[in-house]
Amino acid sequence: MSELLEKIAYCVEFGKINKVSPFPPDLKGQDGADELTKMALEQGISPSDILNKAFVAGMDRVGKKFSENKIFVPQMLMAAKAMNTAMVHLKPYFLSGQIQRKGKFVIGTVAGDLHDIGKNIVSMMIEGGGWEVIDLGVDVKSEKFIESIKANNATVVGLSALLTTTMMSMENIVKDIKAHLPDVKICIGGAPINNDFCKKIGAHYYSPDPQGVVNYLSQFVA
């Protein structure tokens, strides 16, 4: 059982999506995360164990390597694709309540900014960490963030920006969220953002990489 879970974690870590996936070369022609996850369920391994001991474990390694500049965006996207492909097999168990999500996380790129690669990577990492992610997309205004947080009873929100010209937009959105939902924690990130800016605008957390957000969220899990 543990050997199969480790195989799935390895496939996630190295972006082995399925049997026909050519990467990584040492697994060419072998089953990938997709087939192995289905096999694990058929063998009676609990969906919760697959999530935590395979998906979360694999994405945790990916996040740490990315933080240490040992891998880069393409490898992280491959890992996320492997995890998302395999995650389809677990969706019915989330819907039935057999697997409990750790919480709900709303994320979006702030109004005026149409960049989404960084946001998408953070979304994938957080979902791989066992959270339900509500991705609002790009060019998101305060009202949409606030509506989604309320509708989903989310406790944490993530704001992304790539353009320096939209930093003011991020500041205004942070103020609006805090005014309407003072108990919600606000994470921010993006190329022009730093910890000083985070403190200046009153956000709760800044991270230069996705793994930092995953680590920050861990404190809100009972």
Q: Is the peptide bond preceding residue 92 cis, with omega within 30 degrees of 0?
A: no
Domain ranges of the chain: 2-96, 104-220
pLDDT above 70 coverage of the chain, percent: 99
Residue 220 confidence (pLDDT): 86
48, burial (CB in 10 Å: exposed 0-12, middle 13-18, buried 19+): middle
Considering the four listed CATH numbers 1.10.10.10, 1.10.1240.10, 2.102.10.10, 3.50.50.60, the one that applies to the domain covering 2-96 is 1.10.1240.10
Per CATH, the homologous superfamily of domain 104-220 is: Cobalamin-binding domain (3.40.50.280)
Q: Is the pLDDT of residue 104 over 70?
A: yes
Residue 96 confidence (pLDDT): 86
Dihedral of the alpha carbons of 45, 48, 50, 54, in degrees to the nearest 10: -140
Q: 11: part of which helix (H) or strand (E)?
A: helix 2-14
Residue 186 confidence (pLDDT): 98
85-105 average pLDDT score: 90
Q: What would the two tokens of residue 195 be?
A: 């910890």
Max CA-CA distance within the chain? Answer: 55
Higher pLDDT: 219 or 33? It is: 33
Q: Is the pLDDT of residue 222 over 80?
A: no
CA 121, 208, 205, 171 torsion-angle sign: negative
pTM reported for the whole predicted model: 0.83
**72-85: pLDDT as tens digits:** 989 988 998 999 99
Higher pLDDT: 26 or 97? It is: 26
Q: Is the pLDDT of residue 100 over 90?
A: no
